């Protein structure tokens, strides 16, 4: 049993480390390809931080454990909305932008309600799984187009102001010297490196691809280890796979979102923290849930339909209400979210143990 627990911890570590490398490599690759940072934040980072959940759920579906797969999806969203957002809000006030809140938060509500209805009717088959993935792709396309338009409008406005301010004014020797100094400073900070470091700095495209592939390999290996050991622990202690999926695996695979959100809050970038949580929730239900439905059609466990899906819906509503209040999430609201999460986990453990 000790070896099983150690292997489970190794699996979690590989998932978390692999997710970090996947995001770093993808962001660096996108930068070399000239992709907008907005697109990177919406598509790449959102997918990267949800990659551990995807790997764990796919592996669970592959070995015939849909309880772990769906428990991971629901548990991860509960952890995102209550644990991660609550913990992040205790670091400092989280500012929220109006338009992305209703766009992303609205889709979180729609996707959660869709999952609840389909699961209750026992209709989450391959067709609905494909529809969920298609809805995710449509959302990403719409979000990217909307963000690019907003970014273009802002850039055009800034350019107009700069043009008006510089009309009739030439660049003098002082400004030119500043430009040369800046260029020299950029050249000076470029390190002289050898070996692997030289690969990273001299061949950024190649290094980005290598980092991305290493991260992907760690995620796949970690997902396999995590699920296999979780199934073994559940069998040894007579616990349900659903409980393991909704607690241990869900909290472990949500670690990338937790780290990303805490760092963003610490740097006073609350919008990134809130956007990361909502984006991850959308990925989890539509992307991961859709994939699980394709691999394990109509394998949604009855034990999760009531009361976990209603609680998931209430957590999504509570998250939106907290964010919409003055378009900020304050420390007291973060404490409320944390209280709700630990209350749910405690109730779940006591209920399962009593049964």
Residue 185 has pLDDT above 50, yes or no: no
What number of helices (H) and strands (E) belong to the chain? 17, 2
pLDDT in tens, 224-243: 787 778 778 877 877 787 88
Question: Of 104, 92, 80, whose CA–CA distance to 251 is shortest?
Answer: 80
**Stretch 113-128: mean pLDDT, rounded?**
92
pLDDT in tens, 242-299: 888 888 888 877 777 787 777 777 777 777 778 878 888 999 999 999 999 999 898 8
Rounded Cα–Cα distance for residues 334 and 319 (Å): 10
pTM for this predicted structure: 0.75
Question: What superfamily would CATH give domain 37-155+241-354?
Answer: NCX, central ion-binding region (1.20.1420.30)
CA dihedral 101, 104, 108, 114 (to 10 degrees): 130
Q: How many CA atoms lie within 13 A of 307 on its CB side?
A: 9
Residue 176 has pLDDT above 90, yes or no: no
Please answer whether residues 312 and 80 qualify as being in contact, where contact means their C-beta atoms are separated by less than 8 angstroms: no
Q: Is residue 247 within a helix (H) or strand (E), and if so which, with residue range?
A: none
The domain segmentation of the chain, as residue ranges, is: 37-155+241-354
Residue 59 has pLDDT above 90, yes or no: no
pLDDT in tens, 84-111: 999 999 988 888 878 778 888 999 999 9
**Stretch 146-162: mean pLDDT, rounded?**
62
Burial, 303: exposed, middle or buried (Cβ in 10 Å; 0-12, 13-18, 19+)? middle
Instruction: Provide the pLDDT confidence category of residue 213 given band limits of 50, 70 and 90.
Output: confident
């Amino acid at each position: 049993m000790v070896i099983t627990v150690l292997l489970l911890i190794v699996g979690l570590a590989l998932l978390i480390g692999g997710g970090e490398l996947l995001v770093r490599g993808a962001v660096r690759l996108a930068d070399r390809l000239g992709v907008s940072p907005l697109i990177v934040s919406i598509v790449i980072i959102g997918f990267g931080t949800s990659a551990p959940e995807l790997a764990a759920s796919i592996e669970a579906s592959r070995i015939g454990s849909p309880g772990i797969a769906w428990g991971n999806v629901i548990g991860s969203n509960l952890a995102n909305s209550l644990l991660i957002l609550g913990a992040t809000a205790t670091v400092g006030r989280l500012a929220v932008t109006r338009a992305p809140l209703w766009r992303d938060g609205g889709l979180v509500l729609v996707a959660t309600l869709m999952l609840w209805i389909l699961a209750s009717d026992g209709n989450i088959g391959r067709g609905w799984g494909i529809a969920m993935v298609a809805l995710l792709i449509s959302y990403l396309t719409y979000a990217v187009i909307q963000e690019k338009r907003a970014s273009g409008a802002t850039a055009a406005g800034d350019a107009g102001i700069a043009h008006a301010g510089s009309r009739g004014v030439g660049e003098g020797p002082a400004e030119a010297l500043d430009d040369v100094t800046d260029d020299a400073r950029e050249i000076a900070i470029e390190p002289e490196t050898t070996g692997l470091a030289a690969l990273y700095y001299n061949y950024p495209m190649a290094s980005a691809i290598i980092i991305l592939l290493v991260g992907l390999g760690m995620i796949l290996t970690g997902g396999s280890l995590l699920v296999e050991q979780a199934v073994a622990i559940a069998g040894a202690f007579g616990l349900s796979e659903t409980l393991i999926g909704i607690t241990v695996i869900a909290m472990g695979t949500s670690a990338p979102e937790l780290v990303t959100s805490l760092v963003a809050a610490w740097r006073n970038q609350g919008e990134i923290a809130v956007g990361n949580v909502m984006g991850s929730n959308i990925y989890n239900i539509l992307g991961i849930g859709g994939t699980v439905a394709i691999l394990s059609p109509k394998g949604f466990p009855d034990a999760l339909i009531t009361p976990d899906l209603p609680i998931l819906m209430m957590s999504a509503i509570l998250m939106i209400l907290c964010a919409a209040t003055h378009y900020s999430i304050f420390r007291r609201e973060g404490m409320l979210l944390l209280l709700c999460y630990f209350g749910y986990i405690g109730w779940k453990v006591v209920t399962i143990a009593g049964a």
